[in-house]
Chains A and B, each alone.
Chain A
């Protein structure tokens, strides 16, 4: 198992290299020049050229990429064009916020989604089932943007129970994470439900019933474990979508995470910032995939890695 994990970690290196190369190239080919944007309402061509030289943007592309890679290897993600501060410093200020938000949202949505899925599957086509699936449909269809604003309006403005924007206390986490769970919970609920329905039809469940085991023991002791594998896959993908969705949610709630930093950087064409943020996201995804794969081994003892 250990060898497998090490091998997977080594494989992240080419993945991240390719991802960063793609982003690097894309940034330089799309229209928009950071120096022009910085120049505001006084676009003096000499100043713009001087700025581009200062940021190393006048060098040939391969040289720029090489410089970027060399810096990354030394742990230097460059200096942000907009703020003049090191990108790594900016990321380190914001990453914890995003991670906490995503973690809380993921735990919430996993727990809730799986629970709802199990309950629905044990009472197929009942009122509970239909109601859950209906709300699941709404959750998936409503844009995170809208959900966030609606939650804010109800709980922060009308009722005044929770803070509307920003960070600082556990209360600030509630609305953004609920908004985020909006689309992952339904997905997990549906997947759990269909997995469970399939498992519950199997012969060994009938055997367990005929042995006289309680319904509860059968469902939670036997069925769930077997139904979990596709759910874990979906959960892994959902976490990815959650990290992406956090960009919108962070903007709506003025939550100072890495998603908002990425959006601001994109609009300002802050190349070092965008490259740094994408690198961090790529790392998170790769380790997330590894974690998901390891969870399979825990859940299903038949799966071995070497």
Chain B
């Protein structure tokens, strides 16, 4: 090669490198610099220097697709939404009892059709407009409006009208429904600023958000993170943690590593197998929530051998739930002893089905299936904690009593498509899935067992039909007398438990992990976190942060 050729080659290479450098620099220049936390507006009462800004980084497995409460249906959204917007009532994070929140007190008529709520005065939205009855009416109507795209409207179908009695009093008229007040706490009804929604429209509103909550939305960089800053005008007092950053990390292993590396302070959904390793880590603490999500295997009561009550009971006796709990969940799940969890209103202990394979075989023989039978088990993969393992365990327990199970694991969307087929088209035999118990009331949890909840209106392919159960359930719904309701539910649950339309298994454990610098973060039974009294110690410098251009946090602390 001649020198001129060499030089021209080098020129091209040099040009290429230069272009690459320009591209990369342009890219990094286009990333907006991190917004500095807002300065505190309260004057310090001591002569100490101002406190270092504290920040809490949370990570969960799924990204909230939208922060608009009226469009939310799933847990990942709700956890964050409560920090920005608030519902009329709150719930104690240990017991689930209703607490006044945006509504100070309420009354209802004995027939449970008219509900009057007296709202807190002097509360402002993040955009400065006042919170009042107009905002509540606007929000509830928006929630039930199918055009807004809120699929949650269905849960509030009993509402007939929402009226303003005066500036701070709302009157809601419903069909007779005593458990209605439980729904005031349900996330999708969180109150939003009518002014902002009307001004910006739904799409823009979700980028900005204006609620009454302790944190304001700073930015939602899709796919990356959500940044919230403390609301200094919050009616409940300014929160102690200045900034909250939410970083969704889908891959559980990566999420835990980010926690161990110190990039994230608090993580949701820790796989049980990682508990021993994390417990051994001196920087990390485990936090356990109350299990409320019911995990069970719905049985199609109109198909083949499952038509027989004895067969269904046999399947319940065949599964060793205690061992499953120990091995798969390190004992953190709660074995089901009733169709609903023990913190729900109306709970009554009717079980559990103790492990008894001999009895299972005996029942199968009595029903005419001494040689067992073959059955299909369908479930949605990737959705439930240790789902694959539980299903395999079920398969082996059932095989031990002669029932051969063929497992059909589908991707979640495909599974939903099959589960929602109506009775005439369904091919459901055994399924496996979960049902949340967030309202902590038997009405919502037992609803799935009524005929009205057969797919496509409901989620579980049980096609269960018991006239006595229906009678009790609707009687309980129709009365406001707590004691009477409890009595109806008790009898109803005894019937259901004996009929065994499901293999009753366990309540899913809620396992969280946090760095020890975080104190006082509580977790509610609906998987939302409670940061009211929480504090975070500012981080020191680490090697990784040296790469970053943020100034090192000062060592001054103020509690």
Contact = CB atoms under 8 A, between A and B. Distances in A.
Interface of A: 30-33, 35-48, 50-51, 54, 79, 82-86, 90, 93-94, 96, 100, 103-104, 107, 148-149, 152-153, 156-157, 159-171, 217, 221-222, 251-254, 256-257, 260-261, 264, 267-269
Interface in B451-509: 455-459
Contacts of B455: 43
Contact of A252 (B28, B247, B251, B457): B251
Interface string B404-416: 0000001111101
27 contacts: A30-B414, A32-B416, A41-B73, A51-B146, A51-B151, A82-B66, A83-B65, A83-B206, A84-B206, A85-B206, A85-B222, A156-B263, A157-B261, A160-B542, A160-B544, A161-B544, A164-B257, A165-B247, A167-B224, A168-B34, A169-B548, A171-B544, A222-B1, A256-B222, A260-B223, A268-B65, A268-B413
Interface centre among A32, A48, A51 (most CB of B within 10 A): A32
Contacts of B31: 167-168
A36 B414 CA distance: 11
A221 B154 contact: no
A251 B251 contact: yes
B342 interface: no
Interface stretch (B19-27, B131-139, B312-320): B19-27
Contacts of B73: 38-42
A214 to B, nearest CB: 12
Contacts of B207: 85
B280 interface: no
A47 B257 CA distance: 41
B413 A47 contact: no
Interface of B: 1, 20, 23-24, 27-28, 30-31, 34, 63, 65-66, 68, 71, 73-74, 146-147, 149, 151-155, 157, 202-203, 206-207, 221-225, 247-251, 253-254, 257-258, 260-264, 410-414, 416-418, 420, 435-436, 455-459, 542-544, 547-549
B376 to A, nearest CB: 16
Contact of B254 (A31, A104, A168, A252): A252
Contacts, number: 197
Contacts of A35: 151
A42 B152 contact: yes
Nearest to B547: A171
Contacts of B157: 44
Contacts of A107: 20
A256 B544 CA distance: 20
Given A43-B455, A165-B258, 12 more contacts: A45-B456, A47-B146, A54-B146, A54-B147, A83-B222, A152-B254, A156-B258, A156-B263, A252-B253, A252-B254, A254-B247, A260-B223
B336 to A, nearest CB: 18
A40 B412 CA distance: 12
A47 B151 contact: yes
Contact of A33 (B20, B202, B417, B544): B417
Contacts of B63: 264
Contact of A93 (B206, B221, B417, B547): B221
B253 A149 contact: yes
A103 B151 contact: no
A248 to B, nearest CB: 9
Contacts of A251: 250-251
Nearest to A256: B223
By Cβ-Cβ distance, the 9 closest A-B pairs, closest first, are A40-B73, A256-B223, A32-B413, A44-B154, A82-B65, A171-B547, A31-B417, A256-B224, A50-B146
B202 A84 contact: yes
A257 B221 CA distance: 12
Contacts of B263: 156, 163-166
A43 B544 contact: no
